[in-house]
Chain A
Amino acid sequence: MDTNNSNAFSGLTIVAFSWAMVGPLTMKFFADYGATVIRVETSHRPCVTRTSAPYKGGEAGLNRSGYFNHFASNELSLSLNMGHPAGQAVARELIARADVVMENFTPGVMDRWGLGYEELRKIKPDIIMLRQNGFGLDGPYKNLAAFGMILAAIAGMPNFIGWPDRGPLPMGVGAYTDCISPRLASAALIAALDYRDRTGKGQLLDLAQFETALYFILPGVLDYAVNGREPERRGNADPYAAPHGVYPCEDDNSWCTIAVLDDAQWQRLCGILGKPECSRDSRFDTAVHRKQNEREADELVTAWTRQHTAQEVMESLQAAGIPAGVVESSAEIYADPQLRGRNAFWPLQHDEMGVFTHLGASFEMSKTRAQAYRPSPCLGEHNEYILTKILGKSDDEFVELLTSGALE
């Protein structure tokens, strides 16, 4: 159970009432750099990710979800029945020893357990509490149970995705905002730790996932506020550059991106297309002309990309200094040599999953590296460790808790 005691967050303890994807993604920045992150869960209402497919071997089980297990490496799991007085008591004992409490339910859940910020301060005066709810602690939507896909909608994001002649589209599989709030929350939380170390004071952080999503479309919001302009869907076109798009390649449903950002890139592209004469063609010689004749330029490009694989397109254009890439499927991302070389995936041995790929580092650091200390936890896997080693309970006390139902 030892963690590297020289990492950036070694010695830090976080009690995480963590739910779905936002919770573990936020906690990952701390757990991967040495913090002890105790995830408080319950078998009475297991995390939605524990009960979501895909499962190992197609067989459902609380410890068998690929979804849950992809995101939760380095966390310790404590199963706790918060409806049981002894379960509540354990939570309070843990909080008394913690630096940070985080939660991302709807706000009422923690309040009903008597674990709002004011109560936590009575347990631990310098506690830092991160409340990362969908809509924040106040306002008319505060109790709306939100998740990433509908938060992206209310934050207006699909307005920026799609074709001029069709309606708005969701980003990918939908839960886009789940990838936005965790980084902003982590930054705010590290700042709060720094402030506590300097002043001795804890604090409450109220971060609404809805609000942080707006930072990712801020130029679009300002375009409305300043110019009164609602977003237009424009496919993959760029207002100033052409060709700029997604093009079909040789294999079925295989695509590449190409973006010609200046005239020199266009001239080199014409050479690759086997149409050197097009570089001097007055329809295409400047960005303005290429934009005016974008459809014809796209046809020239498409005629060539259809005869090549996406990988070939990427390699030959990149060799000529032209931005281009494979439109990578999940299988291609999984095998991507660039990501593989950057600690992005962690194959870890898990009791029920076997060797299973956990999400790895999000970036590289030269001195304090993100570490795969342990695989994602099975539900309640660390109950005994947490109660006896962290809280110092005797074996008898632990068994008593176990039989009381407080650890379900």
Chain B
Amino acid sequence: MDLTNENGFLCGKILADLGVDVIKIERPGGDPSRKVGPFCEGADGPDASLTWFAYNCDKRGITLDIESREGRQIFEQLVKSADIVIETFRPGYLDSLGLGFAGLSRIKPGIVLTSITPFGQTGPYRDYEACDLVLMGMAGELYLTGDSDRPPVTMSLPQAGLHAGADAAVGTMIAYRHRRKTGEGQHVDVALQQSAAWFLGQVIPIWELEKTVLQRVGTFRSGSIGGGIQRQVWPCKDGFVFFFMIGGQQGAKTGRQLVKWMQDEGAYDSFLMTFEWETFDMATVTQETIDKLSRPILEFFQSHTKKEVLNAAMSRNISICPLFSMQDIVTDPHLGQRRFWTELPNPALHKAVLYPRQFARSSENDLASRMRAPRVGEHNAEVYAELGLSPNDLGKLTKAGVI
């Protein structure tokens, strides 16, 4: 039973793709999360949201007012047939309806309840208001992102709810495994802030060991000790490529192969061509060395296209990638060869649209998406019939605003 908004959509989506019969429960009239953009142009109404479409495919959808007396009784029947309930209400809301973990466990012993909230069910920030911008700030991504002469900047597609939704899928499945072994249910408590803060593991050791607070440096990247910065985003002929000099055997290989490619194309720079890549260590390298290495590389990339860089990366084994546009992604031959895309009908547009087939391929199980996101109450008749409700009952409940 999936009672989530966009903060938790991905949880049920992952479970559904792995074979779980996920039933998305919306309030009558449709969930407010159907108003989250971007939207299908030229369409409006509850099916126009592409965020809804993206993360609710492969779920069945029903409507139910769980706050009404009759709605609550029906929800209890649904819970009796369920293994898992996932929800994104404010902490305490389900408890206030008698449908928190204790209440649900009485209805269905062994139930797994997964709650996904901005800050979790406990702690000083539990009741704080949040949106993705606030959460990405409190999870640490924002501070490190953006040009140094402007405020920190966020990603315009919400992220924290995706980290948390994926975390919630893992937690739910761990709980389900425990239940299979012991019969015991439990409450999984996922927080968007905590899930998104995972990324900060890359810099927390630098703070702890060196008392250095890394700063945002735009298209560059900070080293930890020397304070040197080097470019990550390099302009090329028709866009950008991403490349980063790293030390060790792996980095040295890429450095040597890049120089070899430049030499093969007639580029010459005595400092770069004779540089000992094994000695490169971002912790100790000077800014002067970084700059001297970067200058001819920058010139070289500027005279090459994204495609040329990608082809050289493949044929010469250099760790560089172009920045792909959405068009590049949708038309990418690699994804094409891996049959990454499928098509699913979009009800707002009355036509099939591109959709990822699967997030993983299994030699045993078909994990492919096959069902588009549900329309409001699309599976009411089907799901409620499974509960034993007659069409007559459904008519009455619809009239009463319960479904």
Contacts and interface: CB of A to CB of B under 8 A. Distances in A.
Do A and B actually bind? yes
Contacts of A339: 193-194, 197
Interface string B140-161: 1111111100111111110100
B224 A226 contact: no
B177 interface: yes
Nearest to A44: B249
Interface string A104-146: 0000000000000100000000000000000110111101111
A37 interface: no
Nearest to B172: A187
Contacts of B235: 167
B147 A166 contact: yes
A233 interface: yes
26 contacts: A8-B174, A21-B202, A67-B202, A67-B205, A117-B363, A139-B334, A145-B254, A150-B244, A161-B145, A169-B146, A219-B54, A222-B50, A222-B53, A236-B153, A245-B133, A257-B133, A325-B128, A325-B138, A327-B143, A330-B203, A333-B197, A337-B124, A362-B198, A363-B171, A367-B184, A367-B185
Given A156-B325, A204-B362, A225-B353, A183 B152 contact: no
A225 B337 CA distance: 19
B88 to A, nearest CB: 14
Contact of B330 (A71, A224, A244): A224
A292 interface: no
A131 B176 CA distance: 24
Q: Is the interface of A mostly helix, strand, loop or mixed?
A: mixed
Q: Which of under 10, 10 to 19, 20 to 34, or 35 or more describes the interface residues of A?
A: 35 or more
A211 B356 CA distance: 9
Contacts of A365: 171, 174-175, 186-189
Main secondary structure on B side of the interface with A: mixed
Given A139-B337, A236-B153, A183 B188 contact: no
B302 interface: no
Contact of B134 (A117, A161, A259): A259
A396 to B, nearest CB: 35
Contact of B54 (A163, A222, A330): A222
A169 B140 contact: no
Given A179-B199, A248-B151, 18 more contacts: A21-B201, A48-B248, A58-B210, A144-B314, A152-B242, A183-B166, A188-B360, A197-B180, A214-B329, A220-B326, A224-B327, A246-B137, A247-B151, A323-B131, A325-B130, A333-B200, A342-B194, A344-B197
Nearest to B246: A48
Interface string B309-348: 0100110010111111111111001110110100000100
Contact of B41 (A195, A226, A363): A226
A366 interface: yes
A67 B333 CA distance: 35
B250 A327 contact: no
A236 B157 CA distance: 11
Given A236-B154, A330-B204, A367-B178, A158 B322 contact: no
A342 B198 CA distance: 13
B35 to A, nearest CB: 9
B166 A187 contact: yes
A323 B340 contact: no
A126 B218 CA distance: 48
Q: Which 5 A-B pairs have the closest CB atoms?
A: A66-B205, A224-B326, A53-B283, A172-B144, A153-B242
B22 to A, nearest CB: 13
Contacts, number: 488
B170 A324 contact: no
A215 B359 contact: yes
Given A48-B250, A174-B244, A208-B338, A25 B186 contact: no
A325 B152 CA distance: 13
A372 interface: no
B340 A211 contact: yes
Given A231-B156, A342-B194, A328 B360 contact: no
Interface in B236-258: 240-244, 246-250, 254
Contacts of A356: 208
Interface string A148-163: 0111111111111111
Contact of A204 (B40, B157, B185, B363): B363
A394 to B, nearest CB: 34
Contact of B326 (A230, A332, A367): A230
A366 B187 contact: yes
A172 B134 contact: no
B207 interface: yes
Contacts of B334: 135, 139-141, 210
A149 B202 contact: no
A218 B177 contact: no
A9 B173 CA distance: 11
A351 to B, nearest CB: 16
A93 to B, nearest CB: 24
A96 interface: no
A223 B214 contact: no
Of the candidates B120, B248, B323, B353, the one having the most CB atoms from chain A within 10 angstroms of its own CB is B323
Contacts of B153: 161-163, 169, 235-236, 246
Given A167-B240, A184-B360, A204-B362, A338 B141 contact: no
Interface-central residue, A143, A222, A227, A323, by most chain B CB under 10 Å: A222
A368 B175 contact: yes
B131 A261 contact: yes
B167 interface: yes
Given A153-B321, A184-B14, A363 B168 contact: yes
B33 interface: no
A40 B57 CA distance: 38
